[in-house]
A and B are shown apart, each in its own frame.
Chain A
């Protein structure tokens, strides 16, 4: 039981390049999330998906797109990377749809640097 997995673990991009961060969970969870973590700012929600086939914007969606490919997989795409997107990106999942108090399970993160 791997939980939440993310690839890649590290990535360096040049400004303007594109890439996709992959996330998969094997817990049969309904909801999935993408966060970014910046020093001194906690976690900020980029996008979330309450169920297969649905996605919605979070607090900081600009410059990103997402795809909920199936119940297991939720990818995050940077179409034209900018230095401001240098961050650590975390994927998470939770069992319930839009239920307060539900525990979120996190992947190990992707450390992205944009030069």
Chain B
């Protein structure tokens, strides 16, 4: 079946460091891919998404490229801030409403 695997956290970085959070997936067809973010004490919100191969999603300085050849959708940001501290979830949707979720990666940014 479909699945999503994310790198385990927590990931701890200093402010202005480069961020990569790895996400790989298995799917039988052509899924849409998502990154959601959960700030402390809040619900999840969509960060970015890509609906077909080679698409790049971007938002708030974050980017992720849909790589079908490596079945990956890694999240990157060039210079993180303390306010980026949160839990990041990778997810996929294939052909219907259901989202298949990764376990989440907690990101801690130190000043």
A pairs with B? yes
**A101 B43 Cβ-Cβ under 8 A:** no
Cα–Cα distance between A96 and B93 once the two chains are bound (Å) = 13
Closest 3 CB pairs of A and B: A106-B43, A101-B32, A42-B101
Q: Given A94-B97, A109-B43, are A41 and B31 neighbors across the interface (CB < 8 Å)?
A: no
Residue of A nearest to B31 (CB): A100
Query: Which residues of B line the A interface, CB within 8 A?
Result: 4, 31-32, 34, 41-46, 49, 51, 89, 93-99, 101-104
Cα–Cα distance between A4 and B95 once the two chains are bound (Å) = 25
State how many angstroms separate the Cβ of B33 from the closest Cβ of chain A: 9
Known: A98-B96, A109-B43. 15 other contacts (CB 8 A): A4-B43, A42-B4, A42-B101, A42-B102, A42-B103, A44-B101, A45-B98, A45-B99, A58-B98, A94-B97, A96-B97, A98-B97, A99-B96, A102-B93, A102-B97
A28 on interface, CB distance cutoff 8 Å: no
Query: Which residues of A line the B interface, CB within 8 A?
Result: 4, 31, 33, 40-45, 48, 50, 58, 90, 92, 94, 96-109
When distances are taken between beta carbons in the complex, the residues of chain A under 8 Å from B103 are 40-42
**B95 A100 Cβ-Cβ under 8 A:** yes
A-B contact pairs, 10 of them (CB 8 A): A42-B101, A43-B44, A45-B99, A48-B97, A50-B97, A92-B43, A100-B32, A104-B46, A106-B45, A108-B42
B89 is contacted by which of A43, A44, A99, A102 (Cβ under 8 Å)? A43
State how many angstroms separate the Cβ of B98 from the closest Cβ of chain A: 7
**B99 A104 Cβ-Cβ under 8 A:** yes
Residue of A nearest to B29 (CB): A100
State how many angstroms separate the Cβ of A31 from the closest Cβ of chain B: 6
Residue of B nearest to A106 (CB): B43
**B49 A103 Cβ-Cβ under 8 A:** yes
State how many angstroms separate the Cβ of A68 from the closest Cβ of chain B: 14
Cα–Cα distance between A48 and B99 once the two chains are bound (Å) = 12
